[in-house]
Amino acid sequence: MTTVYLNGRHLPKEQALIPVEDRGFIFGDGIYEVVRVVEGRIFAWDAHAARMANGLAGLRIDATGADSATLRAACERLIADNGLAGGEATVYLQVSRGAAPRTHHFPPAGTPTTVYAAASPFKVNPALRTQGARAITQPDIRWARCDLKTVNLLGPVLARQAAVEQGAYEALLHRDGMLTEGAATNAFFVLDGVLRTYPLSHYILPGITRQVIMDVLGAIGIGCDERPVPLVDLPRVSEVFVCGTTTDVTPVVAVDGRAVGAGTPGPVTLRIKEAFEQRLYAK
């Protein structure tokens, strides 16, 4: 029986119900996280919890009941209760501004938030990781606070659907002529022999995987220029990879049907991928 966490209680998934007036449903008024679990160990918990706290503060959602210790305990029990302490899993967490009669402005102070979490088994797709993925480019139509991990995901939903319809794994988004990130990943490029990625700003999500990679890069002696790559320079890019909690480091070997470099995962990508996986699996 699958159990989930809802507002302080662990209960069977079928019994976890939220009111139709929940602002997560009506407005997409909430914050979410996805964490990776390897052999029962939550990867980079503190960083995920900090991003969630930052997101709740950014949206001015009351963080009562959504503090790091409470959520971590909920995740750990979900992992144990759902038989996910061996192998790999993910936990999805969401906090919405709660249920109240529909008004654009905030509901009355004291309206309880909705705090939800659920664990699922996770399986890496080895072909994607080793042979690489295809991507397409798409205009970045998202709002101007992409640094907040809100449940309002229509831009990424439409971009990913376009990718899937074109037989690709990911959509690389571009805004003002610059490649920002993937629909649900951060993106790195090798241009003129230099590793580059979009700088932290309101226009990308501060990915936890990106953060771990930055740390790993220091350890393996690869520099990274946090400077946007112009879309027009894409044909000159020799390597691309995307990264995220469920994507790890995934090489991108073709964009818009054109091979990236030799059309196989490049040497810089492979070194970073190896070093990242050592961290993730704590080899």
Ligand X SMILES: Cc1ncc(COP(=O)(O)O)c(C=O)c1O
Catalytic residue positions?
Answer: 149
The H or E element spanning position 68 is helix 68-81
For residue 254, how many other CB atoms are within 10 A of its CB?
16
Question: In terms of CB distance, is 96 or 209 closer to ligand X?
Answer: 209
Interface with ligand X, residue 250, by CB under 6 A: no
Instruction: Kindly write out the interface string for residues 88-127 of this chain, putting x where it contacts ligand X by CB under 6 A and - elsewhere.
Output: ----------------------------------------
Instruction: Kindly write out the interface string for residues 164-183 of this chain, putting x where it contacts ligand X by CB under 6 A and - elsewhere.
Output: -----------------x--
Strands (E), the chain: 3-6, 9-12, 30-38, 41-42, 88-96, 114-121, 133-139, 170-175, 178-182, 186-191, 194-197, 229-230, 239-244, 248-255, 258-259
Site of tokens 């629909």: 183
Q: Which of 94, 185, 197, 269 binds ligand X (CB under 6 A)?
A: 185
Give the C-alpha separation, 19 to 145, whole Å: 27
Interface with ligand X, residue 138, by CB under 6 A: no
Instruction: Kindly write out the interface string for residues 187-206 of this chain, putting x where it contacts ligand X by CB under 6 A and - elsewhere.
Output: ------------------x-
Interface with ligand X, residue 216, by CB under 6 A: no
**Closest distance of CB 45 from ligand X, Å:** 12
35 touches 43 (CB < 8 A) = yes
Site of tokens 């990943």: 185
Interface with ligand X, residue 231, by CB under 6 A: no
**Closest distance of CB 34 from ligand X, Å:** 6
Locate 7 and state its tokens. Answer: 């507002």
**Closest distance of CB 3 from ligand X, Å:** 24
DSSP 85-152: SSSEEEEEEEEE--B-S--SSPPPTTPPPEEEEEEEE----HHHHHH-EEEEEEE----S-TTS-BS-
Question: In terms of CB distance, is 99 or 183 closer to ligand X?
Answer: 183
Q: Interface with ligand X by CB under 6 A: which range of 19-27, 65-73, 101-109, 184-192?
A: 184-192
| CA–CA distances in Å: residue 238 to residues 3, 108, 115, 192, 210 | 46, 53, 43, 8, 20
**Closest distance of CB 105 from ligand X, Å:** 27
Question: In terms of CB distance, is 138 or 209 closer to ligand X?
Answer: 209
Beta bridge partners of residue 17, listed in sequence order: none
Interface with ligand X, residue 209, by CB under 6 A: yes
* Selection from 245, 257, 25, 28 nearest residue 142 by Cα: 28
Interface with ligand X, residue 244, by CB under 6 A: yes
**Closest distance of CB 76 from ligand X, Å:** 19
Question: In terms of CB distance, is 99 or 242 closer to ligand X?
Answer: 242
Binding residues for ligand X, per CB under 6 A?
156, 181, 184-186, 205, 207-210, 244-245
